[in-house]
């Protein structure tokens, strides 16, 4: 198995490109749907969120390829994509004024206390489901360089044509030398409703043949890829043993996969969750520390634009400059001989709407090369956000890293 290497940055090239559906999320706050009169509108999408986080928080040159409908909701979505610093590359559709095509809606009541969140879709006549191979000129998009390509299982589940487009794009990205990642994000309801007649495991198994990095927990791996998985009763949802055991099957069936990663979550209540992250990389295991997330407004508050999204991210160190995110409260030095190049981390930063949303947190893994002048960071990301309270007291330096001992 070849080593996972991220291509060098090229002038004018893309650091990251994702393929997926853009959606609006309607949020009534802590009020149940049956009693709500007002909703906040957020723009998101599992694949887009990755590009948005990389652009807004880490300064990378990112883009999203998606469907766009030329009507007022589409204009709202386009504007929010631009706000996040992401380049939008769209296959455009005209709305007929009555039935669509439409930009999908996700309805999300965030829950409160003992009342769990409620999430459901309206994806009727969704424009993204109409996307098919040939809709994008991948060779032209990648001509100036592409370092990382990403897509996900929600987009692949939308119709019989969307997984074929994913495979087409991945093949072009591999030809251009990019790392290819895929977030399984298995959703049984979507696969049951897409009309393809094909099972999720058969479709996602074909996609897995093209990827270097898979993101997904043990349920995603078993239900999405059709793996049997181990019969393990974990004492805690934060116990990664079931995840690691399932990876043994992934290695056997898809030897092209170099890394598998996921976030771990243990729900104490709607308002309090424990988070961690684990990574299997080329036969080695890595785990992040556990972070406690508390909000006065419930779990789905973490899904504010862009919502919670598992993905793999990377960050390059600029030669001659300090390692990114190092701060006086948690200095980070380049690797020394004999020290493993992967370390767990937790990072805080102000959200784009800090006055309203407080702070965000990421838990994941840092990857560093052996050189002190060229390094990369690879990790599992779960972006969280609290509206009315910072996620614990934030550090004095908002851009610092808190690392495990």
Reading the chain (405 residues) residue by residue, the pLDDT tens digits are: 568 889 999 999 999 999 999 999 999 988 889 899 999 999 999 999 999 999 988 889 999 999 999 999 999 999 999 999 999 999 999 999 999 999 999 998 888 878 888 888 999 999 999 999 999 999 999 999 999 999 999 999 999 999 999 999 999 999 999 999 999 999 888 888 887 767 888 999 999 999 999 998 878 888 888 887 665 455 566 677 777 878 888 888 999 999 998 888 888 877 777 888 888 888 888 888 887 766 543 333 333 333 333 333 333 333 444 434 333 233 333 333 333 333 333 343 333 433 333 333 333 333 333 332 233 333 333 333 333 223 333 333 333 333 333
Predicted local confidence at residue 236, as pLDDT: 61
- Distance from C-alpha of 147 to C-alpha of 204, rounded to nearest angstrom: 23
The number of beta carbons lying within 10 Å of the beta carbon of residue 265 is 18
CATH superfamily for 16-403 is Ribokinase (3.40.1190.20)
Predicted local confidence at residue 39, as pLDDT: 92
* Dihedral sign of CA atoms 230, 234, 237, 243 in order: negative
- Distance from C-alpha of 286 to C-alpha of 396, rounded to nearest angstrom: 28
The alpha carbon torsion through 56, 263, 119, 188 (nearest 10 deg) reads 120
* Pairing, β 213-215 against β 259-269: parallel
Q: How far is CA 131 from CA 125, 140, 165, 283, in A?
A: 12, 18, 7, 36
- Distance from C-alpha of 397 to C-alpha of 101, rounded to nearest angstrom: 46
DSSP 220: I
- Distance from C-alpha of 395 to C-alpha of 160, rounded to nearest angstrom: 47
Q: How far is CA 353 from CA 66, 356, 386, in A?
A: 25, 6, 11
Predicted local confidence at residue 296, as pLDDT: 40
Tracing tokens 């906040």 back to the chain, one arrives at 40
The number of beta carbons lying within 10 Å of the beta carbon of residue 235 is 7
Predicted local confidence at residue 295, as pLDDT: 55
Q: Which letter, b or e, does each residue of 73-93 get, where b requires 16 or more Cβ atoms within 10 Å of its Cβ?
A: bbeebbebbeebbbebbbbeb
């Amino acid at each position: 198995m070849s080593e996972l290497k991220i291509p060098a940055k090229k002038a004018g090239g893309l650091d990251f490109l994702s393929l997926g559906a853009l959606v609006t999320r309607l949020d009534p706050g802590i009020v149940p749907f049956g009693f709500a009169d007002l909703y906040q509108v957020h723009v998101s999408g599992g694949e887009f969120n990755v590009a948005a986080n990389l652009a807004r928080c880490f300064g990378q040159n990112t883009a999203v390829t998606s469907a766009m409908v030329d009507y007022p909701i589409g204009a709202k979505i386009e504007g929010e994509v631009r706000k996040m610093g992401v380049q939008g590359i769209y296959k455009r559709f005209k709305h007929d004024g009555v039935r669509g095509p439409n930009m999908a809606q996700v309805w999300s009541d965030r829950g409160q206390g003992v009342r769990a969140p409620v999430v459901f879709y309206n994806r009727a006549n969704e424009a993204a489901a109409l996307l098919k191979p040939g809709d994008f000129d991948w060779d032209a998009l990648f001509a100036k360089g592409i370092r990382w390509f990403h897509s996900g299982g929600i987009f692949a589940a939308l119709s019989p044509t969307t997984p074929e487009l994913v495979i087409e794009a991945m093949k072009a990205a591999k030809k251009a030398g990019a790392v290819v990642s895929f977030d399984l994000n298995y959703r049984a309801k979507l696969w049951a409703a897409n009309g393809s007649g094909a099972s999720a495991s058969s479709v996602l198994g074909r996609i897995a043949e093209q990827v270097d990095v898979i993101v997904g927990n043990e349920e995603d791996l078993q239900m999405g890829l059709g793996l049997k998985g181990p019969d393990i009763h974990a004492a805690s949802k934060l116990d990664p043993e079931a995840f690691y055991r399932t990876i043994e099957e992934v290695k056997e069936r898809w030897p092209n996969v170099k890394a598998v990663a996921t976030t771990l979550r243990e729900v104490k209540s709607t308002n309090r969750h424990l988070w961690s992250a684990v990574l299997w990389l080329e036969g080695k295991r890595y785990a992040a520390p556990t972070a406690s997330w508390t909000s006065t407004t419930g779990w789905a508050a973490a899904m504010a634009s862009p919502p919670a999204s598992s993905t793999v991210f990377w960050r390059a160190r600029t030669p001659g400059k300090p390692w990114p995110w190092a701060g006086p409260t948690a200095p980070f030095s380049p690797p020394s001989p004999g020290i493993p190049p992967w370390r767990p981390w937790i990072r805080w930063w102000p959200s784009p709407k800090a006055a309203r949303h407080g702070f965000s947190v990421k838990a994941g893994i840092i990857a560093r090369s052996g050189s002190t002048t060229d390094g990369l960071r690879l990790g599992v990301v779960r972006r969280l956000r609290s509206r009315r309270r910072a996620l614990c007291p934030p550090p004095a330096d908002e851009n610092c890293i808190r690392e495990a001992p």
